[in-house]
Amino acid sequence: MAKQKARQQKKIKKRRSQKNDNLKTHLKRTFAGLFVLIILVVAAGVITHHLILRKQPVQPVGIPPAVWPPKFEIYPEEKVSPPKPAPIPLPELPGKLPKVAIIIDDIGYDRKIADKFLQLDADLTFSLLPYTPSQKSFARKVSQKGLDVMLHLPMEPHEYPQVDPGPGALLTSMSPDELIIQLKKNLDAVPGIKGVNNHMGSKMTAVSSQIYQIFTVLKQRKLFFIDSRTTLNSICKPSARLFQIPFAQRDVFIDHIVDPDFIRRQINQLVQIARNRGEAVGIAHPHIETYTVLREMLPDLQKKVRIVPASQIVHPIS
């Protein structure tokens, strides 16, 4: 009897072992099947994404393709060219030539192209963005050459947040304390600055209370302000008059269309405005096309106008 019971228990254990082995095999096959299915689903998703969805470039919601991503802000209302001034004979004395300030904006990221502009034989003005890889070292280099350094102050545009002015931007949602603290940090970020002009800012430059706060600090630090004029609604000029801050405003964007022929026409327009009014301000950007055209035109340009630092073209508004 004992031997028979032992044989039965042995058979029962064997059956259980076989069942466990079968269960393990089934589970392994099930997991393997699920894994293969997941891989197939992921692969199908990737193929669908790239072959179907990527036929059209992905763009942020609400931004027209033609302006995304913008390199800088120009207000769309400026489409009418200024009236052609009456011809004025050029003075014979070089010291009496009309004055032109050419500001190179958006400096701080591409050191190589910035160095090219710095090597040109002209008193260009360099406006540096805060918190860029080379803003401090390049600012010192510009100052050592005796040229003007400005802060290119990021300000909120109408299209914010889809269009981001970058690190250190002054926003209309900031409290007075937040605005002043950020402004002072930005001013301290670029050494040796003599003045400020706005980077974007179509929304910020139309808000009187915040422009007053900004100009209060600039007045304390004895800095001038040049309005890049990214909106027709800018109140920077009357605000500068109120605070008696040395002021000027941009007359011509030189290279918002990056085309050599267009850049030449804009420079000629800048000369015409200077001859009519005695002085003018042009804003350009660190494009190789702009550098090439400026280098080509400089010898003739310097016979028609005096290219001066921005600090020599700003004035308190009476």
In 3D, which of 247, 178, 245 has the Cα closest to residue 216?
245
What pLDDT was estimated at residue 22? 61
Structural domain contains residue 189? yes
Q: How many CA atoms lie within 13 A of 180 on its CB side?
A: 11
Q: What is the DSSP secondary-structure string of 156-220?
A: --TTTTTS---TT-B-TTS-HHHHHHHHHHHHHHSTT--EEEEEE-TTGGG-HHHHHHHHHHHHH
Q: What is the pTM of this model?
A: 0.74
Report the alpha-carbon angle 272-273-277, nearest 5.
120
- The CA–CA distances, whole Å, from 232 to 82, 122, 162, 235, 286 equal 14, 31, 21, 9, 25
Confidence category of residue 96, pLDDT binned at 50, 70, 90: confident
- 23 and 165, same domain (yes or no): no
Together in a domain, 167 and 253 = yes
Same domain, 11 and 130: no
Confidence of residue 44 (pLDDT cuts 50, 70, 90): low
Asked whether the predicted pLDDT for residue 286 surpasses 70, the reply is yes
Within a domain: residue 81? no
Joined tokens for residue 130: 């805060």
CB 183 within 8 A of CB 138: no
Find where tokens 């010898």 sit.
299
Question: For the domain that residue 166 is a member of, what is the CATH number?
Answer: 3.20.20.370
The DSSP line for 17-53 is: HHHHHHHHHHHHHHHHHHHHHHHHHHHHHHHHHHHTG
191 and 271 assigned to the same domain: yes
Domain assignment present for residue 134? The answer is yes
Separation of alpha carbons 215 and 127, rounded Å = 18
In a domain, 256, yes or no: yes
Q: Are residues 44 and 108 in the same domain?
A: no
Q: 255 and 132, same structural domain?
A: yes
For 8, the token pair is 């039965």
pLDDT digits (tens, 9 = 90+) for 254-267: 999 999 999 999 99
For residues 144 and 27, membership in a common domain is answered with no
How many domains are contained in the chain? 2
Residues spanned by the domain of 32: 2-55
pLDDT tens across 171-192, in order?
999 999 999 999 999 999 999 9
Residues 24 and 114 in one domain: no
The pLDDT of residue 52 is above 80? no
Q: Per the domain annotation, does 75 fall within a domain? A: no
The pLDDT of residue 154 is: 97
| pLDDT, tens only, 189-223 | 999 999 999 999 999 999 999 999 999 999 999 99
Residue 152 and residue 109 in contact, taking contact as beta carbons nearer than 8 Å: no
